[in-house]
Amino acid sequence: MSHLESNNKRTKLAYLLSLFMVITPQLAHSQQLLAQENTAQHTEHSHTDAKTATYSCPMHPDETSHEAGSRCSICNMFLVNEGVEEEEGRAKTSLSASEQKTYVCPMHPDETSHEAGSRCSICNMFLVNEGVEEEEGGAKTNLSASEQKTYVCPMHPDETSHEAGSRCSICNMFLVNEGVEEEEGGAKTSLTANEQKTYVCPMHPDETSHEAGSRCPICNMFLVEEEEEEKGSVDHSSHNMSSSTPEDHSGHAHQTQEADTPADTVFNSAKPAPLDDGANIKYVCPMHAHIISDVPGTCPICGMNLEKVELGGNSKEIQIDVSGGMQQALALKVARVEKDTLWKFVQTVGQIDYDESKINHIHARVNGWIEKLTIESVGDKIIKGQLLYEIYSPDLINAQDDFLLAQDTLKRSGSSENYKDLVRKAGLRLELLGFNKSQIKALAKSKKTQYRVPFYAKSGGIVKALSVRDGMYIQPSTEVMSVVDLSKVWVIADVFENEQSWLEIGQKAEVSVPAMGIKGIEGEIDYIYPELDAVTRSLRVRIVVKNKDLELRPNTLAKIDIFGGPNRDTLVIPQEALIQTGKENRVIVKLEDNSFTARKVTVGMLSQGKAEIKNGLEAGERVVTSGQFLLDSEASLKGSLMRLSSGHQH
């Protein structure tokens, strides 16, 4: 304990000593500062009280200081010299009341001040000179009531003001001069009824207005001037505008009699026409197909000229007449519908792969060391019975010794069945460990144990993988090498989903490799995989192909042609003649009189650039194979016109 107490005392003494060394210089510096402050205070107190300046806050008078540049502890404003303010106050007080100006807030008249540039304590606006406002107010009061202008809101007439540039307190619109509006209103009232313009909707003639730029409340179109549409041929007896006022017209209080306007001519002239009549001629807008007329004219919506369209008679088929010169300009080509044999032909691509049934994996069935390896690298060609490697393994040595011991025991004991069975089991053990029958016979004949046991190839092929080298230690799980026979290869083909019903096991196929110049290698479908690829939506098909010359190399891309069964004596057309819309298939048929018609067809099999037609065409007819889309668009337009004219009236 005495030793611990002595250590504590030493520690405390060292701490006090260091504290003393730190504090001593600071005390000396503090004494110097105190001396300087006492000298300054003595100098300041030597001045008279009259020269001592006091600074106070303009916002909080209780906050004072004798130091220039001080700030208020409440609002952080600079304190100002109180003596100067008093002198200024006395100077201001000496001014006569007539010369003293008063400043007042325009928004809060109770907020006043005698200092120029002051702000309102409520809204922070600058206070303005009350005398100037009174003078201006007096000048305004002297104005006669006739000269005083009144400004009113166009939307809210109750909101008025006498100041120009004022805004409505409800909608914030600028107030306009009421006198000018009254003058304009008087001028408008002085107009005669025959000079007043009427604007009408081209689509809905009942919607009218007297204001330019108005829109129809139904279709939102701009109303057009009625006089421009009339062109001297419209009877306005049903619209007595002389007796109507703008107030009455705002409610659309018209007479019930319909006006004969061009819009009425366009929409009311289309009558239901039977399809068995003679040829009909209609005029239709190219941009708005529902605008139809029996007479030439312009579209009331876009103003385009109505195009002439002929509707065929005595037939429900839509016919399009195209002159010979126009056919040459459009480069129209036709082909005949004929009967032919279509093969279920699938043309696709695939990839050459190993025949997995021909891959042989070689493992050592004992633990040991590779003493000699005769295979140099992957890709080496080996033949059946070729020496692959030699191995030293204590397990193989023990197995040979057991076999030789069983043979000696059998010879000494005679022809005992038990010893014969023992020799048989010892030989079977050697065979299972990798010895072939010739090696077992040689061992029985020589009666000498082999310490470096050779292993031979059981089949020929190409080395696909090589995992060991000389001197390596191997186990039964170690794959020494793998050998594959390339006399047969697989070709994995991808077939589209819609063609999978054409495939059967055993169908013939031809494989071509354009990169190697190989063509026409025959094969057959060996297996059809049970599922489709989820990404490509294709079905995998396995084709077995013979490869005697080893020309086909795995992982090479190939073109594949698969031949299915024939579809004999069927109507076919060139595939480019089809117009496939997604919902239906159509063709353009050329008739005998150089007219064309669009016809819906039922399509069967598509193969080899031809399409099978199940319904809609007959043998010998001619279909358009080039330029048919222009004719189809024209036929679609005519079809819509026929539907409109046969069952709809505007």
pLDDT at 443: 93
pLDDT at 477: 93
Query: Could you list the mean pLDDT of each consecutive 10-residue stretch along the chain, which spans 650 residues?
Result: 66 68 52 54 45 76 84 83 57 47 84 85 81 49 55 85 84 74 49 65 84 80 67 40 38 40 47 46 82 88 80 58 76 87 86 92 94 93 93 94 91 82 92 92 92 92 93 94 93 90 88 90 92 91 91 92 82 88 85 82 85 89 82 65 48
> Could you give the CA distance from residue 370 to residue 391 in angstroms, rounded to a whole number?
5
pLDDT at 81: 78
For the full predicted model, state whether its pTM sits above 0.85.
Answer: no
Class of domain 345-353+485-565: mainly beta
- Neighbour tally for 381: CB within 10 Å: 12
Tokens (6 digits) for 229: 């549409």
Say if strands 381-382 and 557-574 run parallel, antiparallel, or are unpaired: unpaired
pLDDT at 642: 55
Tokens (6 digits) for 616: 């809609």
Class of domain 319-342+567-646: mainly beta
pLDDT at 278: 44
Domain layout of the chain by residue ranges: 281-310, 319-342+567-646, 345-353+485-565, 356-484
Closest CA to 560 of 516, 508, 517: 508
Type of residue found at 185: G
> Could you give the CA distance from residue 88 to residue 53 in angstroms, rounded to a whole number?
15
For helices 394-413 and 417-432, give the axis angle rounded to 10 degrees: 160
Is the CB of residue 409 less than 8 Å from the CB of residue 422?
yes
For helices 437-446 and 417-432, give the axis angle rounded to 10 degrees: 130
- The H or E element that residue 6 is part of is helix 2-46
Closest CA to 484 of 352, 350, 357, 351: 357
Is the CB of residue 340 less than 8 Å from the CB of residue 570?
yes
pLDDT at 48: 39
> Could you give the CA distance from residue 149 to residue 141 in angstroms, rounded to a whole number?
13
Is the CB of residue 646 less than 8 Å from the CB of residue 311?
no
* SS3 track for 449-473: CCCCEEEECCCCEEEEEECCCCCCE
Partnered with residue 177 across adjacent β-strands are 151
Domain 356-484 has CATH 2.40.50.100: yes
> Could you give the CA distance from residue 393 to residue 473 in angstroms, rounded to a whole number?
10
For helices 437-446 and 394-413, give the axis angle rounded to 10 degrees: 60
For residue 49, CA distances in Å to 46, 52, 268 come to 9, 5, 109
E strands, 410-515, where? 453-456, 461-466, 473-474, 479-484, 488-496, 508-513
Q: How does pLDDT run across 508-517, given as a tens digit for each residue? A: 999 999 988 8
Q: What is the DSSP letter of 528?
A: E
Closest CA to 633 of 322, 333, 320, 282: 320
Is the CB of residue 604 less than 8 Å from the CB of residue 380?
no
> Could you give the CA distance from residue 128 to residue 115 in angstroms, rounded to a whole number?
10
Residues recorded for the chain: 650
Measure the CA angle with vertex 642, ends 637 and 643; round to 5°: 100
- DSSP per residue over 113-155, as a string? ESSTT-B-TTT-PBPEEHHHHHHHHHHHHHS-TTT---EE-SS
Is the CB of residue 101 less than 8 Å from the CB of residue 118?
no
- DSSP per residue over 242-277, as a string? GG--HHHHHTT---SSPP--HHHHHHHS-----TTS
Instruction: Say which residue the tokens 């008093």 belong to.
Output: 86
